[in-house]
Amino acid sequence: MKEIEELFLPDNVRYAETHEWARADGDNMTIGINDYAQDQLGDIVFVELPEIGATFEKGEEFGTLESVKAVSEIYMPVSGEITAINEDLEEAPELVNGEPYNAGWIIEVKPNDPDEINTLMSSSEYLEMLKGGE
């Protein structure tokens, strides 16, 4: 497992307390789990994805990740409608481990409120939370 200082937490995404990230991409947002979450889970062997067109509120469970260690829920960092899922994860769930912010993205969402992303943490705020300095 990585030390907190070794985590890759890019500044171009926002972070939820439940360890998901969201990145604004035009009118949509791309969502995945961050480096800390994938590191804690270990080798991911299965990703349960939602249906395109499904809608979720912020904080609702939208899928699960199964690793060699455990099954973990994935929660919506923002409210919105699923517009795309990363179908590559069906054949290669390990992409979430290798590239959590790029090839390992999980869903795209059309947010109900694009400004909701501003309620999420910056990389420095998220790092402080991990260190226990909430």
| pLDDT score recorded for residue 133 | 59
* Percentage above 70 pLDDT, the chain: 99
pTM metric for this prediction:
0.95
Assign 134 a pLDDT band (cuts: 50, 70, 90): very low
pLDDT single digits (tens) 88-122: 999 999 999 999 999 999 999 999 999 999 999 99
Cα–Cα distance for residue pair 123/10, rounded to 1 Å = 7
Q: Per CATH, which fold does 30-114 belong to?
A: OB fold (Dihydrolipoamide Acetyltransferase, E2P) (2.40.50)
Q: Per-residue pLDDT for 35 more than 70?
A: yes
pLDDT single digits (tens) 48-102: 999 999 999 999 999 999 999 999 999 999 999 999 999 999 999 999 999 999 9
Which residue reads 């990703």 in tokens? 47
| CA 105 remoteness from chain centre | 7
Domain ranges within the chain, ordered by starting residue: 30-114
